[in-house]
Amino acid sequence: MARVLVPEKIADAGLNALRAAGHEVDVQLGLTPEQLIEAVKGAHALIIRSATTVTAEVLDAGTDLVVVGRAGIGLDNVDVAHATARGVMVVNAPQSNILSAAEQTMALMLAQARNIPQAHGALVAGRWERSKWEGVELADKTLAIVGLGRIGKLVAQRAMAFGMRIIAHDPFISPDRAQAMNIELVSLDEVAAQADFLTLHVAKTPETIGLIGEDFLSKAKPSLRVINVSRGGIVDEAALADAIREGKIAGAALDVFEKEPTTESLLFELPQVVVAPHLGASTAEAQDKAGDTIAEQVLLALGGEFVPFAVNVAAGEASETVRPFLRVAEQLGRLFAGLGEGLPSNVEIEYAGELAGYDTRILTLSVLKGFFGAVSTEPVSYVNAPTLAEEQGVEVNESSTSSTVDWINLISLSGGGRQIAGTLVGLKAEPRLVQIDGHSVDVPPSEHLIIVRNDDRPGVIGRVATALGDAGVNIADMDVGRSSRADGALMVIATSEAITPEVEQALRSADGVTSVSVAHA
């Protein structure tokens, strides 16, 4: 059972799923930064929304943290780099509010085009100002979308229904892909030259901060209206206010601001501006989706499983073919560490068979997680395993081949004079060790394994079994390795419990035994 700290309001369905899985859900709303540092101590997971800032100090205080979950998309309130260094997984719910954000974009676009908030305010204040708030139609106008991701595509679909012409700027989208959506890709300068409406759907990064600033606005059409439902700071608010005040552009609609919460801005003084207090994800449906999704991701992270929405794990999605091999890859890594003394300078990982045709980066992370988990006193996760390899000077190389001799799929590890390979067999996809140091074996990667190298002559197997029996150690499984090389024999023995150093020494002293390795999967 893990303790999950929740300092913000999260949908009950998600929290109940965590409780049903046996975890303690500790809801403490309204914590100050100082109180959060105290509350996070002993927590294994931290689930937040946008109001809580997860700083390096919070992460350092949460020495037991496995995962930080953000119930939403943006992560500018989480120190992801420090979390990665600490081996803490950071996950979000990137698809939970995309529909709500797209609809908010359209709502603000229409509100800006037709001056609805201004007219509403005047009327409820007792003023009938019909002629003052004349607007413009969306039909036949050019909408520029900066960031043609999930939300940008939804906005494009909805804007087309209004008869708008769509152009877009996104360096990560191919022209062919954009053309298939009936969208023309253009440069940022061309956006300024052509757009009547501009909507932003990009992450807040050093490259996008101030993206819509004085230089861009000086090139814009006088009819331009800027809509931002992405992140504050992407639009230079002072430059935007100046451009509207001086008549360089027609207006703006903003849902997000550089500093939040905020109740004061130069933009608030301008009648051509429509604003909202970051309502993009504020729908009942989006909050339910975010709570459900983040609970699922946190459950996977706490269980050591592959987490699809982990933002600081250097791997793609695990396909249905790859996913079953995650556990055996980690077991192989742990056993590989026990085959020799010290860390090898390099680890070669080969994927053979059907696996060779898939993205296997998550399997490599599983191998490293198992390997360093066996030799490190610090917690090891998918997040920090590559960093540990780099810090320890272990070079990791991957290769793939579509052919195998005896197996449909095979994962093989080698380096530092040691080698091990494994696969899944049967309809139940049961893990098997099938090679150790070039010897063919067939044994499950059990929790406690003894690898005995010995002279290939009668009596040695009996002496090893007798030594274990005399020590009261139960043999759960055993296989004798076969090799085409004339370099002795090999035994792989699975025991019900770990053997003591004294038993290990007794095995080494047995007549005919040349070496003994102890590995724990």
Active site residues: 231, 260, 278
> Which two three-digit tokens encode residue 370?
């198992």
- For residues 39 and 30, what is the distance between their CA atoms, to the nearest angstrom? 12
Sign of the torsion formed by the C-alpha atoms of 101, 104, 106 and 112: negative
400: phi then psi, degrees, rounded to nearest 5: -140, 145
176: phi then psi, degrees, rounded to nearest 5: -65, -40
**Are the C-beta atoms of 350 and 401 separated by less than 8 Å?**
yes
- Candidates 323, 401, 403, 402; CA nearest to 366 is 323
Q: Which runs of consecutive H residues, i.e. helices, occur in 23-137?
A: 33-39, 56-61, 80-86, 98-114, 116-124
Helix (H, G, I), strand (E, B) or coil at 189: helix
Helix (H, G, I), strand (E, B) or coil at 445: coil
**Which residues make Cβ contacts (< 8 Å) with residue 84, sequence separation at least 6?**
90, 312, 383, 384, 387
**Which residues make Cβ contacts (< 8 Å) with residue 483, sequence separation at least 6?**
438, 439, 440, 489, 490
CA–chain centroid gap for 78, Å, is 13
The continuous run of DSSP H or E covering 274 comes out as: strand 273-275
Peptide linkage before 344 cis (omega within 30 of 0): no
> Which two three-digit tokens encode residue 303?
């269980």
Query: In terms of DSSP bridges, do strands 513-520 and 67-70 run parallel, antiparallel, or are they unpaired?
Result: unpaired
**Which residues make Cβ contacts (< 8 Å) with residue 36, sequence separation at least 6?**
7, 52, 58
Q: Which runs of consecutive H residues, i.e. helices, occur in 277-434?
A: 284-302, 326-338, 361-375, 385-391
- For residues 190 and 167, what is the distance between their CA atoms, to the nearest angstrom? 9
- For residues 341 and 518, what is the distance between their CA atoms, to the nearest angstrom? 11
- Candidates 271, 266, 268, 294; CA nearest to 281 is 294
Sheet strand arrangement including 430-436: 395-401, 346-353, 409-415, 418-425, 430-436, 439-443
**Are the C-beta atoms of 167 and 191 separated by less than 8 Å?**
yes
- For residues 190 and 220, what is the distance between their CA atoms, to the nearest angstrom? 9
